[in-house]
Every structure is written in structure tokens, then in C-alpha cells.
A and B are shown apart, each in its own frame.
With several copies, the nearest count.
Chain A
């Protein structure tokens, strides 16, 4: 099972539809400071159901929608879709490929999609239950989180162990 395609449109610094085809092995995303690398990571966390503004480095919910540049107007919708190849039947469905999508309108509405059909967040969460995939599972790690994993205080560590048992 692996992430095979990510499509971003109107999310953060992606005003034009952008497609990334991922391979299953080890890949790296490189580029200058501020060019949008961590925004790609935020897009993956977001489509997996991340609800916290802080985890998406935003101050308010609509900070995820493209806010415009000196040459482009701000957009009113952010949309991300992620295709997952289900080759090891980890996901509880007979589809060999699963596509999840999330859309957010500046007016405040959020829509979730599973293989093109509108669903609720609960349905996305139950699809990924016990698979190690999800916005807060230990599959997305940034340098700042290293302190959290190691610190007693927030007991993030317990969460990692509970997810695994």
C-alpha cells in the first residue's frame, strides 16, 4: 500500500491545479526556503482529516485557501485529493485503488469524498481505523515534533504505543 497521486488546487500556495505522482520507494522533495515543500505535507495531513489549525500552521480555518499574490486574486475554494494504492489489502475495501478528497469553501463548508462519492469525516476515519494512516498517526513527522515524542509532559509517546497495540 502506498500514496500514488496527490492533486492540489487552491490549497495554500497552489492556485493552479498541481499533480504529483509518487513512486512507492523513497522519494525526496527539495527546493528553496518558502517554496511550498511543507505546504505539500500540510495538504496530505489535511486530506487525511486533520482538524487542528495549529497542526496546519494556520491561524484561522480559511488560511488554507490560496490568499492571492500581487498578480493573482485570492481563491474561494481549496481542494486536495489523494490516491492510495491498496495492493496489500490493508484498507477494508475491495477496491485496488482508493481516492479520498476534501474541499473547503471560504464560506465555511467542508466536503469529504471517497472514490468520488460525498461522505462524512467519520467514514474517512473508519476507513483508516487501525491501518496506521491518519492525520495524527506517526506517519507525518517534522523536526519540532522530535521534542514532543521524547518529552514526558504531553505523553505523546503513550499515544504512539496505544496506536500500535
Chain B
């Protein structure tokens, strides 16, 4: 189990570094590290199955920081990069994202939608969004409404 975990971790780490560069700009870097905890006696455990997974991100020109110091939009993009890094190792048949694109600016929204398109060969995506640019980039659009108060109906479906 340890070998398998370490092998998977290394694969995800490589993917994460590559995808992070694609989602952010030239010069942005990120990394994943296994951090081994100290127990009460100060002994450092060497069991990777117990270790924490630390994300460090270094946006262009900035010093490497913990992800806590990133902005709202940068955090969202970092989490998406991690999710896709895992999907590369183990594709999920479908992925539903509920207003995950809300904090993104216009440029990052474009990169996000291009990445979704790329991964859609192996994974089905269902996106809930208020962003008009995201609506334009999908294959099928389902409109919902509450014409009768309190009752949801599906109004129209538009195929590209």
C-alpha cells in the first residue's frame, strides 16, 4: 500500500506542476510535498500514509508562499489544477462544478474553459454557472426556471 501510494503521489505531483503552469502564466510554479508529522515524543514518523500533503505555490516573480496567502481567484485555480492532476492518474467518468468559475477574471476564465474542453475526452462535465463566457463554451445548455413559484422546470436545451 505504501509503495502504491508513493508512486501515485509522485505521478500526481508531476501532473500538478505541469497543469499549474498551463492554468497560470509563464513563470508561475507550484509543488506538492509530503510532510511527516512529529508525534508527542518528537519522533518523526516515516509512514507516507500518515504524512500531510503540503501545497506550495509560487506565482510569477513572487516568493514561494503557502497557499493561504494566495488571492481568492488564485486559490480556486490551484484547487482546479490539483483536481485535474488527480484526474490524469485516475479519470473520473463525470465531474460536476457548481459556480466554481465565479471568482475567476476574464483571462483565467478562458484558461479554465480551455482546460475543461481538453479533459472532456475522458470526463463528462456538468457546469453550473452565471458566466456568459462559460455558457458560450459548452456543447449543451440546459435552462431552468421557476415560472410557477417554488417549482423548478427545465425550459430549453440548446445544442451547439
Using A2-B94, A155-B52 as known contacts, say yes or no to A146 and B75 having CB atoms under 8 A apart. yes
Please report the C-alpha to C-alpha distance between residue A2 and residue B139 in the assembled complex, in whole angstroms: 15
Q: How large is the interface on A (under 10, 10 to 19, 20 to 34, 35 or more residues)?
A: 35 or more
A138:B103 contact, CB within 8 angstroms:
no
Q: Give every chain A residue within 8 A of B95 (Cβ-Cβ).
A: 138-141
Please report the C-alpha to C-alpha distance between residue A12 and residue B146 in the assembled complex, in whole angstroms: 13
Q: Give every chain B residue within 8 A of A155 (Cβ-Cβ).
A: 52
Q: Does B26 contact A (CB under 8 A)?
A: no
Chain A positions 119-165 with a Cβ under 8 Å from a chain B Cβ: 131-133, 137-143, 146-147, 149-150, 152, 155, 157-158, 160-165
Chain B positions 95-127 with a Cβ under 8 Å from a chain A Cβ: 95-100, 102-105, 107-108, 116-117, 120, 124-127
Q: Give every chain A residue within 8 A of B55 (Cβ-Cβ).
A: 150, 157
A33:B104 contact, CB within 8 angstroms:
yes
Please report the C-alpha to C-alpha distance between residue A97 and residue B7 in the assembled complex, in whole angstroms: 33
B71:A38 contact, CB within 8 angstroms:
yes
Q: Give every chain A residue within 8 A of B52 (Cβ-Cβ).
A: 152, 155, 158
Q: Using a CB–CB distance below 8 Å, which chain A residues touch chain B? A: 1-3, 12-16, 18, 20-41, 44, 57-59, 63, 67-72, 84, 90, 131-133, 137-143, 146-147, 149-150, 152, 155, 157-158, 160-165
- 23 pairs, A vs B, C-beta closer than 8 Å: A29-B142, A30-B129, A34-B146, A37-B128, A38-B72, A44-B96, A67-B63, A68-B150, A84-B93, A132-B91, A132-B92, A132-B93, A133-B93, A139-B93, A140-B95, A141-B95, A142-B98, A143-B102, A146-B100, A152-B54, A161-B8, A163-B86, A164-B8
